[in-house]
Chains A and B, each alone.
Chain A
């Protein structure tokens, strides 16, 4: 149980980077971008391919981020210059990326054009490189000794992953928060909010849409590159339903933690991604359900996250009204008592 949840938290934090990307398009730009399903795999495929080809994992990850950025920009160009509906532009890019991702992974094999997956079992990754340094610190032993002293029996093999990715995601969050407050960031937010208005303040909304989609998909590809290195494989099908997972994270996070400020919303999105993973892990522990049911469970989680807040809002409103009427009656009775 503990190990399952621990793993979910680790994965949740990595997927949170993807969720931040989805937040940028879905909420900030008001652009439902389906490129995500493809660009996530592009990130994973690019990183895995370059690692197999012998590049440093850090360089592989950076190139993966750039690939995601380019993919997002193309979706943006399709929409703004090609006047293609946002959903359709994203779907077109997603389908195109499927073939491109096969070709990217195909670069690892001679005499072959496409390849559906790459295992990274014995390859150096960002994580394996980090562990070799982390192990010399002896922090794992210290924490685990302390916890087993407290009577905790199930202990994770290492705390390194969770520490490094938590720091990484926190830094990314701060960068996103800062970016959305810069002049360019404000213009991107205004583009999602009121295009007519920001155009009348000399902003080229086309450029801001393209830029926003690029940054969003760069984050998504970054997340894909890290997931490939974390789970030690890249697979052509790993991106299926990614946009829904991203939306689930955004919606769950916003429903629980609110959206009062940007700083709070980005934190909510990250927390939403982690909560989603935990709920999924718990659901999969039910005997009846199989890993193949994951997508169905995801869809149900999103539906619940979308419907429940409405129900709560209505109930709160009803209670408030009922209370007001009761208060009024009480004051009236008081008045007639006095009379």
Chain B
């Protein structure tokens, strides 16, 4: 019974690793197209290691933003702290393993861990997915960056459109509740409206105010918190209301 659950954690982890690592290819190629060199691209995948933050950083840099790229990457990384809070309980890493666990705490490792039904399978799911993606993502980034060096003009290959599509893909799974859809629509419109007037890189940050304000006030929100999408797991949500 226990080996069944652990086997399932392995299989789910490996399939997520393969799918996620593959789009490290697009990150590597897009990073080169954004004007970073091979080593700069690799440092982002090795040290930052958080897909959304990495795509945001190179996107803002390509648009001519400087410190706004740092802010965008940092703000998109904030959710990893939330994942860390629930993964600390789930994974219970020894003190020496804590930094490694924290580094591989991303959307995918958290999701696979929380999808498992028993503690040992949760730990296996977390480590298999987190470490697997770290290795696969970095290899794919390297391959994509080498490929990107050969491609030449990124627009000719549609790589600018690929960058936009990558954000659609990161956003899509988060658009389940009405509140999230309203926030996404308002933020997109606001960012577009600010494009001609705000300095490079800042429209995204200014538009993010929408999410913070709606989050704090719970406008358009469900009456019960349990209706919210829940990346951190259901186990500690019972009985809590807005």
Do A and B bind?
no
